[in-house]
């Protein structure tokens, strides 16, 4: 395999991964045979034809090659064989292809999927960007300087994509975004602007290469800056020279700190039609960014927008999972997600924790009361005890857990006694009739009772079970269910 063949295969593999295609195929013209040959591909299908070829006008690929125009089919209802590169029907539902923008090597880049309506206009833009890279690789007439300047550095791009996908939290993702490899774009500084969802205005959230830079202190002028233009127009912009007749054109705002940038390029971050922000690059050299740089930047920006959107969706979904729909407060999933981290921090700082399990006694007089009313009554009674960093969550039914941070056993016992008193003396009325609710409490302490999150919850619930065992009510127990 030649270096060119390895580069083409690496790039087609990247196309397949980025677009999540079932198959990604590159067809180049075989001038001797006067047909178009499958040159390289990446596919999940065992029925791909490695020696496939298509003629101009033959099927969808032939149409793209004949008309030299992109094609997108989101409701593919024909036999897959018409594509020309499968040996049997593969139940393909979506197809997209674009011609290579080359005057030397004619060809087309195609992707397909078994999902209907899988590819969007953004995928078409990404595919066109990759087609440009294939054209640069295939056009042997370009000089070595041009190839190095314009072609996509596939290993560097793969490393960058991996860094985005492996980020474990939002902070790591934002840091990774601004660490674009210099092999992909020749820049001196990078900046990331995101629209603050709560405040509703754009904010500079990360930079690299600017030194100690003013994060959050620089406003984004929506009408008189590079970033503002990209955000308002939702289109890429490159400025070969930031120093114009009327002074230096600002990246963010006319009052921004003095920067050494001479040229810049900025790309919008758009996901599912929503503008999330923009990703920008600056250089100390004039005219550093050409059209091919912007195309590579747009491919990078599309991936960055998807990574940010996916992270936001994960956080929204996580928030929904951790909220009790009845009380509107955190639930047990929230405690599970936080408890291990809290225990590790407490251990490192030599602090104690206490976990109280609280539940109504069986002797309480609310047999005819809807459980939802009991839950809301207990929730309202217990909320004042979750002060500061303490956490109150509902476990199951009317059972609650209260985590007291930086709490000794003596302090936890005092809190539990106050809870018993408050609940016993808080009237509960339903339909004009008062009901009596008594509770029992089980408690476990870190590190005395348990040394990890699982055992802390287990010991607390066991203590509650032990407290309720006699059926007396209003009991507090600091022992486990085995009486230890």
Q: Is the pLDDT of residue 444 over 60?
A: yes
Predicted confidence band at 64 (pLDDT cuts at 50, 70, 90)?
A: very high
- Nearest in space to 330 (alpha carbons), one of 370, 389, 371: 389
What digits encode the pLDDT tens for the residues 405-425? 999 999 999 999 999 988 888
How many residues are listed for the chain in this entry? Answer: 484
Q: How confident is the model at residue 260 (pLDDT cuts 50, 70, 90)?
A: confident
Q: What is the pLDDT of residue 484?
A: 42
Class of domain 332-477: alpha beta
Beta bridge partners of 192: 206, 279
CATH code 1.25.40.340 for 3-120+127-136:
no
pLDDT digit string (tens) for 160-215? 999 998 988 888 999 999 999 988 898 999 999 999 876 678 989 999 988 756 55
Q: How far apart are CA 187 and CA 207, in angstroms?
A: 12
- Residue 338's pLDDT band (boundaries 50, 70, 90)? confident
- Topology adopted by domain 154-320: Beta-Lactamase (3.30.450)
Residue 94 binned pLDDT confidence (cut-offs 50, 70, 90) = very high
- Encoded tokens for 138: 């295939």
**Bridge partners, 400 (sequence order):** 358, 394
- Which residue, 140, 54, 52, 67, is CA-closest to 98? 67
| Segments of the chain assigned to CATH 3.30.70.270 | 332-477
Q: What is the pTM of this model?
A: 0.50
| pLDDT (average), residues 349-357 | 93
Whether the pLDDT of residue 144 is over 50: the answer is: no
Q: Are 176 and 208 in contact (CB under 8 A)?
A: no
Q: Phi and psi at residue 400, in whole multiples of 5°? A: -125, 155
Query: Which residues, at least 6 apart from 450, have a Cβ–Cβ distance to it below 8 Å?
Result: 444, 456, 458, 459
CA dist 186 → 234, 242, 291, 298 (Å) = 23, 17, 13, 14
**CA-to-CA separations, 453 to 126, 351, 399, 444, 465, in angstroms, rounded:** 46, 15, 18, 11, 19
- At residue 430, the pLDDT reads 59
Higher pLDDT, 293 or 268: 268
Output the pLDDT for position 471.
Answer: 65
Least confident of 18-32, 54-68, 129-143, 244-258: 129-143
Alpha helices in 350-424 (DSSP H): 371-382, 409-424
> Considering only 96-110, 153-167, 208-222, which range has the smallest mean pLDDT?
208-222
**94-103, 203-212, 448-457: the lowest-pLDDT one:** 203-212
Token pair, residue 434, equals 């008062």
Percent of the chain with pLDDT over 90: 48
* CB-count burial class (<10 Å; 0-12, 13-18, 19+) for 292: middle
Numbered ranges of CATH 3.30.450.40 in the chain: 3-120+127-136, 154-320
Residue carrying the six token digits 């309720």: 468
Q: What is the pLDDT of residue 149?
A: 47
Mean pLDDT (whole number) for 276-297: 91
Most confident of 99-113, 235-249, 367-381: 99-113
Rounded to an integer, the average pLDDT of 72-90 is: 87
pLDDT in tens, 41-53: 999 999 999 889 9
Cβ–Cβ under 8 Å, residues 81 and 88: yes
């Amino acid at each position: 395999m030649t270096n060119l063949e390895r580069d083409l295969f690496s790039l087609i593999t990247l196309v397949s991964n980025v677009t999540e295609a079932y198959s990604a195929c590159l067809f180049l013209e075989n001038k001797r045979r006067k047909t178009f040959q499958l040159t390289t591909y990446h596919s999940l299908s065992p029925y791909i034809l490695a020696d496939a070829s298509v003629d101009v006008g033959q099927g969808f690929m032939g149409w793209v090659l004949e008309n030299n125009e992109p094609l997108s089919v989101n409701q593919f209802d024909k036999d897959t064989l018409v594509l020309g590169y499968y040996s049997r029907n593969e139940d393909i539902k979506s197809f997209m292809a674009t011609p290579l923008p080359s005057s030397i090597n004619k060809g087309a880049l195609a992707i397909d999927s078994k999902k209907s309506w899988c590819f969007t206009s953004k995928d078409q833009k990404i595919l066109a960007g990759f087609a440009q890279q294939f054209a640069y690789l295939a056009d042997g007439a370009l000089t070595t300087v041009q190839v190095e300047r314009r072609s996509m550095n596939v290993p560097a791009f793969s490393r960058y994509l991996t860094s985005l996908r492996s980020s474990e939290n939002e902070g790591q993702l934002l840091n990774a975004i601004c660490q674009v490899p210099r092999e992909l774009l020749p820049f001196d500084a990078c900046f990331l602007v995101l629209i603050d969802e709560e405040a509703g205005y754009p904010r500079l959230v990360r930079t690299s290469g600017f030194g100690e830079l003013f994060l959050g202190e620089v406003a984004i002028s929506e009408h008189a800056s590079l970033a503002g233009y990209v955000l308002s127009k939702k289109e890429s912009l490159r400025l070969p020279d930031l120093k114009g007749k009327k002074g230096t054109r600002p990246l963010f705002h006319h009052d921004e700190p003095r920067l050494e940038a001479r040229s810049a390029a900025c790309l919008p971050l758009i996901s599912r039609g929503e503008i999330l922000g923009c990703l920008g690059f600056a250089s100390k050299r004039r005219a550093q960014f050409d059209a091919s740089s912007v195309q590579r930047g747009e491919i990078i920006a599309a991936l960055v927008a998807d990574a940010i959107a996916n992270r936001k969706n994960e956080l929204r979904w996580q928030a929904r999972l951790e909220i009790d729909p009845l009380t509107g407060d955190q639930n047990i999933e929230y405690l599970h997600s936080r408890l291990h981290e809290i225990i590790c921090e407490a251990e490192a700082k030599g602090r104690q924790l206490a976990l109280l399990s609280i539940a109504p006694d069986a002797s309480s007089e609310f047999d005819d009361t809807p459980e939802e009313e009991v839950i809301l009554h207990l929730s309202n009674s217990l909320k004042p005890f979750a002060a500061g960093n303490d956490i109150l969550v509902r476990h199951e039914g009317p059972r609650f857990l209260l985590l007291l941070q930086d709490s000794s056993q003596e302090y936890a016992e005092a809190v539990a006694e106050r809870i018993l008193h408050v609940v016993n003396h808080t009237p509960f009325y339903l339909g004009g009739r008062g009901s009596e609710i008594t509770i029992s409490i089980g408690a476990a302490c870190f590190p005395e009772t348990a040394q990890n999150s699982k055992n802390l919850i287990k010991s607390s619930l066991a203590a509650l079970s032990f407290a309720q065992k006699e059926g007396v009510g209003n009991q507090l127990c600091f022992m486990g269910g085995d009486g230890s």
